[in-house]
């Protein structure tokens, strides 16, 4: 799955299952920690490892403008 | 070591080869790979554009040593008018000087005149006078060697517009332009020859800005003098129909008021010939600078005044060799920049200062320790960024100076390659860059714990389309 930015620089970010689920759940209601905990529980992976994997990429998405602070 | 010999007789080998060819032909026909089928697939327009059915000069295809075609293959591919093919398709030996009367008589005595294969140099008969091997063998074939010696007026285009000038070569392209030394007059009416070195004038013309008189040419020598290439940028650009060139005096569609040709010294020398640069298989790196007033205290304040910065934007283009990483060159240039000059004062002083700042000869200068130059990825709405050549890889970076940031060191510096064009964006990318800088400030203020507690949302401003599976257009 590829996240495509329709404006700006037109970023394209390749997203795996965890990142796609994270971006899909980012609607401004749940915190990042809550979303990562839910994804870790659903996918059956370690939560700390998932957080360590997702947070840097979430920072990149915020920097590129794909995610905005709610 | 003796090479293995074929066991079969020549006749048997030919027979086998013929059978094999027939079998291949049957296979192709059974597969439907026929000319008619291809024509039906292509259509008449495609077949016409591919010049199918047009005959090509034989010498152009065979490439016999010492023989040049009477017409260039490119010319031969064009459909000919009826009745002209017999004369223009004639193959002419190199060195087509019309033999003298005594040599023609000697050739007739020794029978060489009856050699109808004009594509090969005529062998000399023992005992006779040695004939240069590159001479014409048939007197009649030399009729195609005539070159119009009368000076012709040719249409020339330079930055002052179309005009006419007399040239020694009265050639307008085609068979009549064939030089006796085999030099191909590939120039058309405008006088440009496309090639690896770019467009260059076929003849030496007197430039309005050239105080030297044109050099008279003896004979019909090809123009090998570099002085023949020294024409104005507008001349080459007009000939090649280029737009978006980075030359300062070239008529380009670049809306930027500043054209700063930067790069190596070689590029600087060739910057006066943008057409030659554009014809080389190189990519283009684009850098844009938003020259912001140095009094802006922070990037947030700059974001609110981005339209002011956009008005003062400047553009610099340079090229790099194929195979090398253009981003390394951009990094090298950025490292050698002096942010004090890159800021608002540099933009206010015009392109000359920018060019001087980006001069690679000054790259050894150490940057200021209190560097506040911010480099963010992206591009502008320049013509270079929207050109098809940039689809193969355009290195872009936007730089701005948001003021004296706390700490003095640049906090954001990204060099990346934009994989494709960004399309037309009349509003520019100033707002996008401002948002990126805001996000950088926000991220700098949030560590991992704070980020984990933050709430994020996807930057989607338009609702999803009703159709399932359709991509959502986001415009953050």
Contact assessment for residue B434 and residue B402, using Cβ atoms and an 8 Å cutoff: no
CA torsion through residues B473, B384, B299, A19, sign: positive
Give B141's DSSP letter.
G
B446 pLDDT more than 90: yes
- Look at B397 and B457; give whichever has higher pLDDT: B457
pLDDT for residue B13: 63
B452 pLDDT more than 80: yes
- Look at B29 and B409; give whichever has higher pLDDT: B29
Question: For B103-156, what is each residue's pLDDT tens digit?
Answer: 667 656 654 443 333 334 434 444 444 444 444 444 444 444 454 555 555 555
pLDDT (average), residues B251-265: 28
What does the alpha-carbon distance between residue B79 and residue A49 come to, in Å, rounded to a whole number? 70
Q: Report the largest interatomic distance among the alpha carbons of chain B, rounded to a whole angstrom.
A: 105
Cα of B445 vs its chain's centroid, Å: 48
**B175: its two tokens:** 């068979």
User: Where residue B36 falls among pLDDT bands split at 50, 70, 90?
Assistant: confident
pLDDT (average), residues B313-326: 55
| Range of weakest confidence among B18-32, B281-295, B351-365, B451-465 | B281-295
Measured in degrees and rounded to the nearest 5, phi and psi for residue B205 equal -120, 160
A59 pLDDT more than 70: yes
B360 pLDDT more than 60: no
Closest-CA residue to B423 (of B394, B381, B463): B381
Question: For B74-114, what is each residue's pLDDT tens digit?
Answer: 444 444 444 333 334 344 444 445 556 676 676 566 544 43
pTM, two decimal places: 0.35
Residues of B in contact with A9 (CB under 8 A): 377-379, 418, 422, 429, 432
Residue matched to tokens 């020549």: B10
pLDDT for residue B9: 57
A41 pLDDT more than 90: yes
Strand partners, B157: B162
Question: Do residue A6 and residue B442 have CB atoms under 8 angstroms apart?
Answer: no
B399 pLDDT more than 50: no
User: Where residue B28 falls among pLDDT bands split at 50, 70, 90?
Assistant: confident
**B7: its two tokens:** 């066991």
Question: For A21-36, what is each residue's pLDDT tens digit?
Answer: 999 999 999 999 999 9
B185 pLDDT more than 70: no
What does the alpha-carbon distance between residue B67 and residue B461 come to, in Å, rounded to a whole number? 68
Cα dist. B263→B31, B53, B282, B316, B338 in Å?
A: 55, 48, 13, 10, 16
User: Where residue B345 falls among pLDDT bands split at 50, 70, 90?
Assistant: very low
In chain B, what percentage of residues exceed pLDDT 70?
13
Long-range CB contacts (within 8 A, 24+) of B64-69? B64/B91, B64/B119, B64/B120, B66/B93, B66/B94, B66/B120, B66/B121, B66/B133, B66/B134, B67/B91, B67/B92, B67/B93, B67/B94, B67/B119, B67/B120, B68/B92, B68/B93, B68/B94, B68/B178, B68/B182
pLDDT for residue B319: 59
Contact assessment for residue B344 and residue B401, using Cβ atoms and an 8 Å cutoff: yes
Count of all residues that appear for chain B in the document: 476
pLDDT (average), residues B373-387: 31
Residue matched to tokens 């109808």: B116
Contact assessment for residue B366 and residue B390, using Cβ atoms and an 8 Å cutoff: no
A52 pLDDT more than 70: yes
| Range of weakest confidence among A15-24, B18-27, B259-268, B466-475 | B259-268
Distance to chain B for A59, nearest Cα, Å: 7
What does the alpha-carbon distance between residue A26 and residue B70 come to, in Å, rounded to a whole number? 71
Strands A27-31 and A12-14: unpaired
pLDDT for residue A21: 94
Distance to chain A for B475, nearest Cα, Å: 4
Determine which of B452, B460, B462 to mutate to test the interface with A (most A C-beta atoms within 10 Å): B452
| Range of A59-63, B60-64, B317-321 with top mean pLDDT | A59-63
CA torsion through residues B41, B42, B43, B44, sign: negative
- Look at B152 and B349; give whichever has higher pLDDT: B152
- Look at B152 and B324; give whichever has higher pLDDT: B324
Please tell me which of the candidates B379, B439, B473 has its beta carbon nearest to residue A63: B439
Question: For B274-308, what is each residue's pLDDT tens digit?
Answer: 333 333 333 333 333 333 333 222 222 222 222 33
Measured in degrees and rounded to the nearest 5, phi and psi for residue B352 equal -60, -40
Burial class of residue A34 (count of CB atoms within 10 Å of its CB; 0-12, 13-18, 19+): middle
A57 pLDDT more than 90: yes
Exposure of B319 in the CB half-sphere (CA atoms within 13 A): 24
Count of all residues that appear for chain A in the document: 70
pLDDT for residue A44: 92
Q: Helix (H, G, I), strand (E, B), or coil: what is residue B163?
A: strand
Is the CB of residue B365 less than 8 Å away from at least one CB of chain A?
no
Residues of A in contact with B418 (CB under 8 A): 9
What does the alpha-carbon distance between residue B70 and residue B59 come to, in Å, rounded to a whole number? 8
What does the alpha-carbon distance between residue B473 and residue A5 come to, in Å, rounded to a whole number? 8
Q: Helix (H, G, I), strand (E, B), or coil: what is residue B398?
A: strand
Q: Minimal Cα distance from A24: which residue of B? A: B458
- Look at A48 and B187; give whichever has higher pLDDT: A48
In chain B, what percentage of residues exceed pLDDT 90?
3
In whole numbers, what is the pLDDT of chain B averaged over residues? Answer: 48
Q: Report the largest interatomic distance among the alpha carbons of chain A, rounded to a whole angstrom.
A: 36
Closest-CA residue to A7 (of A60, A58, A65, A59): A65
B416 pLDDT more than 80: no
Is the CB of residue A29 less than 8 Å away from at least one CB of chain B?
yes
Question: For B141-184, what is each residue's pLDDT tens digit?
Answer: 444 445 455 555 555 554 445 544 443 443 343 333 343 443 33
Residues of A in contact with B420 (CB under 8 A): 10
Please tell me which of the candidates A28, A63, A69 has its beta carbon nearest to residue B440: A63
């Amino acid at each position: 799955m590829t996240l495509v930015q329709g404006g700006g620089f037109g970023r394209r970010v390749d997203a795996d299952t965890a990142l796609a689920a994270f971006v899909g759940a980012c609607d401004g209601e749940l915190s990042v920690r809550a979303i990562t905990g839910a994804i870790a529980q659903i996918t059956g992976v370690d939560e700390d490892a998932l957080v360590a994997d997702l947070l840097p990429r979430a920072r990149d998405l915020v920097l590129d403008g794909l995610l905005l602070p709610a | 070591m003796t090479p293995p010999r074929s066991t079969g007789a020549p006749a048997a080998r030919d027979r086998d080869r013929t059978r094999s060819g027939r079998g291949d032909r049957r296979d192709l026909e059974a597969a439907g790979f026929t000319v008619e089928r291809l024509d039906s697939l292509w259509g008449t327009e495609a077949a016409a554009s591919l010049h199918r059915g047009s005959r090509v000069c034989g010498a152009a295809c065979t490439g016999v040593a010492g023989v040049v075609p009477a017409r260039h293959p490119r010319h031969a591919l064009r459909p000919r008018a009826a009745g002209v093919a017999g004369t223009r398709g004639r193959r002419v030996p190199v060195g087509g000087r019309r033999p003298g009367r005594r040599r023609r008589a000697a050739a007739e005595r020794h029978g060489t005149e009856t050699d109808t294969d004009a594509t090969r140099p005529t062998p000399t008969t023992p005992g006779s006078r040695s004939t240069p091997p590159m001479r014409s063998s048939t007197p009649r074939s030399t009729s195609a060697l005539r070159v119009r010696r009368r000076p012709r007026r040719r249409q020339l285009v330079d930055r002052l517009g179309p005009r006419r000038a007399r040239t020694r070569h009265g050639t307008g392209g085609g068979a009549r332009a064939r030089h006796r030394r085999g030099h191909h007059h590939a120039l058309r009416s405008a006088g440009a020859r496309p090639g690896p070195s770019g467009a260059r004038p076929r003849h030496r013309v007197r430039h309005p800005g050239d105080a030297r008189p044109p050099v008279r040419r003896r004979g019909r020598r090809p123009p090998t003098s570099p002085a023949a290439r020294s024409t104005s940028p507008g001349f080459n650009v007009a000939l090649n129909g280029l737009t978006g060139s980075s030359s300062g005096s070239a008529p380009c569609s670049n809306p930027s008021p500043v054209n700063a040709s930067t790069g190596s010294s070689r590029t600087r020398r060739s910057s006066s010939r943008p057409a030659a640069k554009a014809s080389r298989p190189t990519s283009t790196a684009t850098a844009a600078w938003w020259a912001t007033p140095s009094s802006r205290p922070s990037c947030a304040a700059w974001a609110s005044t981005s339209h002011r910065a956009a008005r003062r934007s400047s553009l610099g283009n340079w090229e790099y060799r194929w195979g090398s990483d253009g981003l390394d060159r951009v990094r090298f240039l950025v490292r050698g920049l002096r942010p004090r000059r890159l800021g608002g004062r540099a933009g206010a002083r015009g392109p000359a200062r920018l060019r001087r700042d980006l001069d690679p000869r000054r790259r050894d200068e150490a940057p200021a320790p209190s560097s506040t130059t911010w480099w963010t990825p992206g591009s502008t709405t320049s013509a270079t960024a929207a050109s098809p050549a940039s689809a193969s890889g355009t290195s872009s970076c936007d730089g701005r100076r948001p003021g004296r940031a706390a700490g003095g060191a640049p906090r954001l510096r990204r060099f990346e390659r934009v994989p494709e064009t960004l399309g037309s964006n009349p509003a520019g990318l100033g707002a996008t860059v401002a948002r990126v800088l805001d996000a950088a400030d926000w991220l700098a203020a949030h560590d991992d714990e704070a980020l984990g507690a933050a709430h994020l949302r996807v930057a989607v401003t338009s609702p999803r389309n009703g159709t399932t599976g359709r991509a959502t257009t986001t415009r953050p």
